[in-house]
């Protein structure tokens, strides 16, 4: 059944490339106009403005729903609140992962004027180069090339809910933003790191890899979970300082300014004080050098973790290789993000099931775009 369904996606996608191509449609939109308004005065908006500046395009101003930003400047442009705008006389780029909500907001506010008089191009964070590897056309190619690998995952997943969700995630990556063909990406209702079967529990020793500023830790505290210890890992300088400040009032939380990797090393890092800080191979792009360590080495003389969460911007596979001894010997619960690189959607489930046959694997997806697809594992 799943083989026929995936083949149908590939067949339809290949025959409608102009329709599904995020890259083609976005470039056409940008090339067609000279003046733009950016909805979203944050990291995504900054990337879009930088991209438009390079093309010689003009940004009139930013729009943001945060009332506290109203009247302030962002990158030399004024920030307006939607409530003070009567109509848009320029083209709008929604630079936010919450584009579905903003699109609905604009439709309701501006009615037919919105539908008839200006276009909207939907951008995610980190899409300003329009060359990321998981745009629709490239993902379609990747899906076709690795069809048998993807098909394996349906057999490895524990329940039908995960299989259906996994299929919808794959289909959503091909038809993302094309609501007449496919609705927004599926989003489950439970909190990202509180899967009904794989979640923090009393007496857990928890690894929070990609701790950011402590948001997951705050949720654990809020849920009144009597954890034993939490080891938080966050290499971004700015995020780490906030992490220390936000968690110092809690007991048995140990913050570590390491990135996770397959071995100890020093690596180039793009630090921007957001969730998107990431390891890079490019010396020119890097603005920080970080120390990385493997969890096997870190826990060599410590009590081993019982739950490992990883959201480390594409370094998950390397970090898992550095956790092989812990995983194969102690079989901790796992919550691993698999959305940063297309191949992680199949490589990571296959790897973990190969290491620990007893693992039961589940899939969750927690945003309306490509982000926050999580693989959960538990014996």
Across the chain, what does the average pLDDT equal? Answer: 85
Residue 99 lies in a domain: yes
Two structure tokens written together for 282: 């490019």
Higher pLDDT: 47 or 301? It is 301
Question: For residue 131, what pLDDT band results from cuts at 50, 70 and 90?
Answer: very low
Q: How many CA atoms within 13 Å lie on the side-chain side of 370?
A: 25
Strands (E), 133-242: 205-209, 229-233
Assigned token pair, 322: 């550095």
Asked whether the predicted pLDDT for residue 263 surpasses 70, the reply is yes
Helix axes 147-156, 136-145, angle to 10 degrees: 80
pLDDT band at 124 (very low <50, low <70, confident <90, very high): very low
Q: What angle do CA 279, 139, 28 make, to 5 degrees?
A: 95
154-168, 213-227, 295-309, 364-378: range with lowest mean pLDDT:
364-378
Length of the chain: 379
Tell me how many domains the chain contains. 1
Is residue 57 included in any domain, yes or no? yes
* 248 Rama sector, left if φ>0, alpha if ψ -120 to 50, beta otherwise: alpha
What's residue 17's pLDDT? 64
134-148 mean pLDDT: 84
Report the half-sphere exposure of 295 (CA within 13 A, side-chain side).
31
37: domain CATH number is 3.40.50.720
pLDDT tens for each residue of 40-91: 898 778 888 888 888 899 999 999 999 999 999 999 999 999 888 877 666 8
Would 117 be classed as within a structural domain? yes
Q: Which residues pair with 291 in a beta bridge?
A: 266
Q: Cα angle vertex 25, ends 75, 37, to 5°?
A: 25
| pLDDT, average across residues 191-196 | 95
The angle, 0 to 180 degrees and rounded to 10, between the axes of the packed helices 344-355 and 147-156 is 50
Flag whether pLDDT at 228 surpasses 70.
yes
Better-predicted residue by pLDDT, 114 or 20: 20
Q: What whole-number distance in Å separates Cα of residue 320 and Cα of residue 315?
A: 9
Residue 215 pLDDT level (bands cut at 50, 70, 90): very high
Q: Give the integer Cα–Cα distance in Å for 377 and 379.
A: 7
Is 167 part of a structural domain of the chain? Answer: no
pLDDT at residue 113 is higher than 60: no
Q: Could you give the 3-state DSSP secondary structure of residue 197?
A: coil
Instruction: Give the pLDDT of residue 222.
Output: 96
Predicted local confidence at residue 368, as pLDDT: 73
Q: Of 92-96, 163-167, 202-206, 340-344, give the range with the top mean pLDDT.
A: 202-206
Residue 303 has pLDDT above 70, yes or no: yes
Give the sheet arrangement for strand 91-95, strand by strand. Answer: 73-74, 77-80, 58-63, 35-39, 91-95, 120-123
Residue range 125-154: mean pLDDT, rounded:
73
Mean pLDDT across 199-214: 98
Can you give the residue range of the structural domain that contains 119?
A: 22-123
Assigned domain for 201 exists: no
Q: Which residue has the higher pLDDT, 265 or 19?
A: 265
Per-residue confidence (pLDDT) for residue 108, from 0 to 100? 77
Looking at the predicted structure, is the pLDDT value of residue 224 above 50? yes
Percent of the chain with pLDDT over 70: 80
- So what's the pLDDT on residue 285? 62
Rg (CA), the chain: 22
> Is residue 272 included in any domain, yes or no?
no
- The pTM for the full model equals 0.75
Contact 157, 350 (CB under 8 A): no
By the 8 A CB rule, do 296 and 324 touch? yes
Q: What is the pLDDT of residues 27-44, one digit of tens each?
A: 667 777 888 889 889 877
Question: Which has the higher per-residue pLDDT, 340 or 110?
Answer: 340
Mean pLDDT score, 141-155: 96
**Looking at the domain assignment, is residue 291 inside a domain?**
no
With cut-offs at 50, 70 and 90, classify the pLDDT of residue 376.
very high
325 inside domain: no
Does an H or E element contain 145, and which? helix 136-145
Identify the helix (H) or strand (E) that includes residue 309: strand 307-310
pLDDT at 211 over 90: yes
């Amino acid at each position: 059944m799943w083989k026929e369904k995936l083949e149908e996606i590939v067949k339809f996608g290949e025959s409608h490339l102009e329709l599904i191509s995020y890259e083609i449609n976005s470039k056409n939109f940008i090339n067609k106009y000279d003046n733009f308004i950016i909805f979203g005065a944050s990291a995504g908006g900054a990337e879009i403005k930088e991209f438009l500046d390079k093309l010689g395009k003009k940004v009139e101003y930013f729009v943001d729903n945060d009332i506290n930003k109203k009247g302030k400047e962002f990158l030399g442009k004024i920030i307006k609140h939607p409530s003070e705008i009567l109509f848009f006389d320029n083209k709008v780029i929604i630079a936010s992962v919450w584009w579905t909500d903003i699109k609905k907001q604009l439709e309701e506010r501006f009615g037919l004027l919105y539908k008839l008089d200006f276009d909207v191009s939907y951008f995610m964070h980190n899409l300003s180069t329009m060359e990321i590897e998981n745009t629709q056309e490239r993902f379609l190619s990747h899906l076709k090339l690795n069809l048998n690998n993807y098909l394996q995952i349906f057999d490895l997943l524990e329940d039908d809910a995960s299989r259906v969700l996994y299929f919808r995630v794959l289909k959503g990556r091909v038809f993302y933003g094309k609501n007449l063909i496919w609705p927004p990406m599926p989003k489950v209702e439970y909190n990202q790191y509180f899967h009904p079967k794989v979640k923090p529990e009393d007496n857990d020793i928890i690894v929070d890899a990609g701790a950011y500023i402590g948001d997951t830790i705050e949720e654990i505290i809020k849920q009144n979970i009597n954890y034993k210890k939490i080891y938080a890992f966050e290499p971004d300088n700015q995020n780490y300082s906030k992490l220390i400040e936000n968690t110092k009032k809690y007991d048995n939380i140990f913050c570590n300014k390491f990135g996770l990797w397959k071995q100890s090393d020093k690596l180039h890092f793009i630090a921007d004080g957001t969730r998107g800080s990431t390891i890079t191979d490019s010396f020119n792009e890097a603005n920080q050098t970080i120390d990385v360590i493997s969890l096997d080495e870190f826990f060599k003389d410590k009590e081993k973790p019982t739950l490992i969460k990883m959201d480390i911007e594409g370094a998950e596979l390397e970090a898992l290789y550095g956790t092989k001894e812990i995983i194969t010997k102690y079989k901790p619960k796992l919550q691993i993000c698999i959305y940063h690189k297309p191949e992680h959607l199949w490589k990571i489930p296959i790897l973990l099931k190969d290491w620990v046959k007893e693992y039961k694997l589940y899939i969750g997806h927690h945003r309306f775009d490509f982000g926050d697809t999580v693989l959960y594992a538990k014996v």
